[in-house]
DNA sequence: CCGCAAAATTAAGTTTGAATTAAGTTCTTC
DNA sequence: GAAGAACTTAATTCAAACTTAATTTTGCGG
């Protein structure tokens, strides 16, 4: 998942970037509203965290123009506690959720997870569970039939992306763009390697390949083990 | 479907060419207005994407001269966000749709699909659905009576072309010219082979052959399966 | 800091399958 | 029933995807 954080408080932004990076998100950070305006509309982010108190251009204006231009990416806004009216304006302008400062970083993580599930039509699920597999975000593991399978960071974020797009065909390019920040080689075979590892751990049938098009996630059907 | 992209930003053009190619379009790319002027009028494109900020010759002039010369190919123009007046001028000059930069490539794909349907008199249809068959562009599949039939890239683009020209007789030469870029053998039997594959997957009646003239697409009538 | 172990990525060789060509067969029309 | 058009099947080609191993990077304990 690729996230954009628009926040001018350097200390806070650093912390959030590091935190989210550790959770397997590819995070970009911008401090200026004008830059955000452009980059948010041109890069394929899965979610944007937008502070409303920004230099360059007011966050609310940025958000309004994104929505006017047809951007559908989920946006979570950060507002100051004492500007409570901003929340309402923000939601009216097209924000999907908000958080008032100060907040705990874990709180942001939870909101992000929930927002991502919601955005992919997997609402009111407390945890990501698709086709017999249960993702445990806090431990980077999958649970199948009650037993844990430990994944590495790369495997985990790849699987998370696939599970958030069930029944869809996800191209290798799409995976490269959404799992890695901006500039990663377009002709690397990282994805293939990690897909291979996932298939080893979860069984061959879990990820179907559609030659020339991409991969498609299937749950584990009945008692397939290895 | 054969598309022409006229765009001087090499990185963007590369990306779009690759994207659209992956979706089964035969894509040509030109960076110069003067070249575009000539080639757009002489090759049988199904749609043209034209950036208005071009070297060689202003995009607007190119478009005006195409229209003056009687070219009816649908044209989608790309304009910069801050030159909003261009959009109006572009539409006046004969553009069929526009997109402001920056945009997401998927957005362009959707516009192209919609414009192609429109250009073939299948307006206000959100998806291409003819004679009981439903084309799913995002998954390169057809849906008949609710169940999916997976197609390869070549089969898909052939079927798409036929479905965009329903009730018409489409010659083999026409298919070769519109499904393959410029130079492909005129006496190859690729089309026949793919038609054969499509008939296998969809049933014999779906594509009628008019000996000496070409093929004609028919929907599936009632309960024909194989 | 340094060095070690695990993970991530790159690289190289192999396998697979779609696309095209090729060749032989069956229609269709005169 | 001959000739050409279209059909069908099989062979070939070539790029995509897989697999394994080698290399680089990262994180961590000393």
SS3 labels along chain A: CEEEEECCCHHHHHHHHHHHHHCCCEEEEECCHHHHHHHHHHCCCCEEEEECCCCCCCHHHHHHHHHHCCCCCCEEEEEECCCCHHHHHHHHCCCCEEEEECCCHHHHHHHHHHHHHHHCCCCCCCCCEECCEEEECCCCEEEECCEEEECCHHHHHHHHHHHHCCCCEECHHHHHHHHCCCCCCCCCCHHHHHHHHHHHHHCHHHEEEECCCEEEECCCCCCCCC
Task: Tally the residues of chain B.
Answer: 226
- pLDDT tens-digit readout, B90-108: 999 999 999 998 899 889 9
Which protein residues have their Cβ less than 7 angstroms from some atom of strand C? A 152-155, 180, 184-185, 188-190, 193-194, 211-212; B 152-155, 180, 184-185, 188-190, 193-194, 211
Residues 6+ apart with CB under 8 A from A70: B107
Contact predicate B157/B197, CB 8 Å = no
* pLDDT of A100: 94
Q: Quick one: closest CA in A to B104, which residue?
A: A42
Mean pLDDT for B32-51 is 95
* pLDDT of B221: 67
Contact predicate B74/B47, CB 8 Å = yes
Q: Where are the beta strands (DSSP E) in B23-137?
A: 26-30, 47-51, 75-80, 97-101, 129-130, 133-136
Please provide residue B170's backbone torsions phi and psi, each rounded to the nearest 5 degrees: -110, 120
Strand order in the sheet with A207-210: A169-170, A214-217, A207-210
* pLDDT of B225: 47
* pLDDT of B222: 52
Question: How far apart are the two ends of chain B, measured CA to CA in Å?
Answer: 27
What is the average pLDDT value for chain B, to the nearest integer? 91
- Hey, is B116 helix, strand or coil? helix
Containing B15, the helix (H) or strand (E) segment is helix B10-22
Nearest to A143 by CA among A153, A126, A129: A129
The dihedral formed by the CA atoms of A97, A102, A105 and A109, expressed in degrees to the nearest 10: -10
Any idea which of B18-22, B95-99, B121-125, B160-164 has the lowest mean pLDDT?
Answer: B121-125
Residue B14 CB in 7 A reach of strand D: no
Chain B residues with CB-CB distance to A69 below 8 A: 81, 100, 103
B22 touches chain A (CB under 8 A): yes
Nearest to B116 by CA among B94, B137, B102: B137
B104 touches chain A (CB under 8 A): yes
- pLDDT tens-digit readout, B156-173: 999 999 999 988 999 999
Question: In terms of DSSP bridges, do strands A47-51 and A2-6 run parallel, antiparallel, or are they unpaired?
Answer: parallel
What is the model's pTM? 0.91
- pLDDT tens-digit readout, A30-51: 999 999 999 999 999 999 999 9
Strand order in the sheet with B147-150: B129-130, B133-136, B141-144, B147-150
> Quick check: A41 and B103 CB within 8 A?
yes
Q: How far apart are CA B49 and CA B55, in angstroms?
A: 16
Q: How confident is the model at residue A59 (pLDDT cuts 50, 70, 90)?
A: very high
- Domains, chain B, ordered by start: 2-119 (3.40.50.2300), 129-217 (1.10.10.10)
Q: Which of residues 154-173 of A touch B (CB under 8 A)?
A: 168-169, 171, 173
Mean pLDDT for B111-123 is 91
CA atoms within 13 A on the CB side of B141: 14
Instruction: Supply the DSSP symbol for B167.
Output: T
Contact predicate A119/A75, CB 8 Å = no
Residue A223 pLDDT > 70, yes or no? Answer: no
Strand partners, B143: B134, B148
The dihedral formed by the CA atoms of A176, A178, A179 and A183, expressed in degrees to the nearest 10: 60
């Amino acid at each position: 998942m690729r996230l954009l954080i628009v926040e001018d408080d350097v200390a806070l932004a650093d912390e959030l970037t590091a935190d989210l990076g550790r959770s397997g998100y590819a995070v970009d950070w911008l401090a200026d509203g004008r830059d955000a305006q452009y980059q948010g509309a041109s890069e394929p982010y899965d979610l944007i965290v937008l502070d409303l108190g920004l230099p360059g251009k007011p966050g609310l204006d940025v958000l309004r123009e994104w929505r006017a231009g047809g951007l559908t990416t989920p946006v979570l806004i950060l507002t100051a506690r004492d500007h409570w009216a901003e929340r309402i304006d923000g939601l009216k302008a097209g924000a999907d959720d908000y958080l008032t400062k100060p907040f705990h970083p874990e709180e942001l993580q939870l909101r992000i997870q929930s927002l991502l599930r919601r955005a992919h039509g997997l609402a009111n699920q407390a945890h990501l569970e698709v086709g017999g597999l249960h993702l445990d975000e806090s431990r980077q593991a999958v649970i199948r039939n009650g037993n844990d399978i430990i994944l590495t960071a790369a495997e985990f974020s790849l699987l998370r992306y696939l599970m958030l797009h069930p029944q869809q065909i996800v191209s290798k390019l799409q995976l490269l763009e959404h799992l890695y920040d901006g500039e990663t080689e377009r002709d690397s075979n990282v994805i293939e390697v990690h897909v291979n590892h996932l298939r080893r751990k979860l069984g061959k049938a879990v990820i179907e390949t559609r030659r020339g098009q991409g991969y498609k996630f299937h749950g584990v059907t009945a008692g397939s083990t290895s």
